[in-house]
Each structure stands twice: as C-alpha cells, then as structure tokens.
Amino acid sequence: MRIRCITLWDITRTNINARRHHIVDDSDLMKKARQHSNYETIIQCIGIRAQPENITEPVQIQLSNHTAWSFNFTVDRGDVYSNGSNQLSALLEDCNNVPMISGLDETATLSNVLDSGSEGNIFFEIVDE
C-alpha cells in the first residue's frame, strides 16, 4: 500500500545530524540538523507498526496559505495501520502528540507537537492500493 504524508512541519531531509557532525556554533548547520531530526521523528512514528519502504524525498508544496512538506512511502501489509473501520487510524494515533522542533521554515503557527486530528498539522492518505 502506498501512503502519502503531508505535514506543516519542516521535514527537509538534510542528512545532517548534530551529534555526528559535532555542531557547536554554526546556526545554518544546526537548522539543517533540526530539519532532519523532524524528518527522522516522522519516519520513526511511521515505523512503529511497519517498516516503511520506497520512501520518497520530502518536497515542499503549497496548501492554501501555508507551506507544507509531502512524501510517499509503502508498507507491505494494507491492514497494518487499520483499526477495522479506518485503514490509517493507528498511524494517526502513533503520530499524535509527538514533540517536534519548530521555528524552521514553517509558515503555519505550530504547537510543538504533531497533531493528527481533523484540524491538525500532519495528514496521511492512501495513494493507491
């Protein structure tokens, strides 16, 4: 099953890790490390119940008045995130109230946690089956 993730959080994949790169006073590198940390956080949430595969590079998109980031991934079992009535409900639960780093390139006002509710800041949709 292919799933699309859309989020208002800056999840630019920079491959910069603050510990690995020993960042001390470089604000540009620190920003890149924080962006990548947000990306890794979402991938870890997705991976709680399944191993995400074929992960595409996050790209910036425009949603009404805000910048968002979007990427696709696949999972091998179509029911892995299902609670019986909604195919993605467990994924939405796993991605709710998870701390994130704000103050990067987001244009929305965010509350420092992922919110997968109806008015939230992270959304998932099935692209195809």
Looking at residue 78, its pLDDT comes to 84
3-state percent breakdown (helix, strand, coil) of the chain, nearest 5: 20, 25, 55
Q: How many residues does the chain have?
A: 129
> How confident is the prediction for the chain on average, in pLDDT?
92
How many C-alpha atoms does 65 have within 13 Å on its Cβ side? Answer: 2
In this predicted model, what pLDDT tens digit does every residue of 65-113 receive, in sequence order? 999 999 999 999 889 999 887 899 999 999 999 999 999 999 999 999 9
Q: Is the pLDDT of residue 129 over 60?
A: no
Residues of the chain above pLDDT 90, percent: 78
Q: Dump strand ranges (E) for the chain.
A: 2-7, 59-63, 66-74, 122-128
Gap between the Cα atoms of 94 and 114, Å rounded: 10
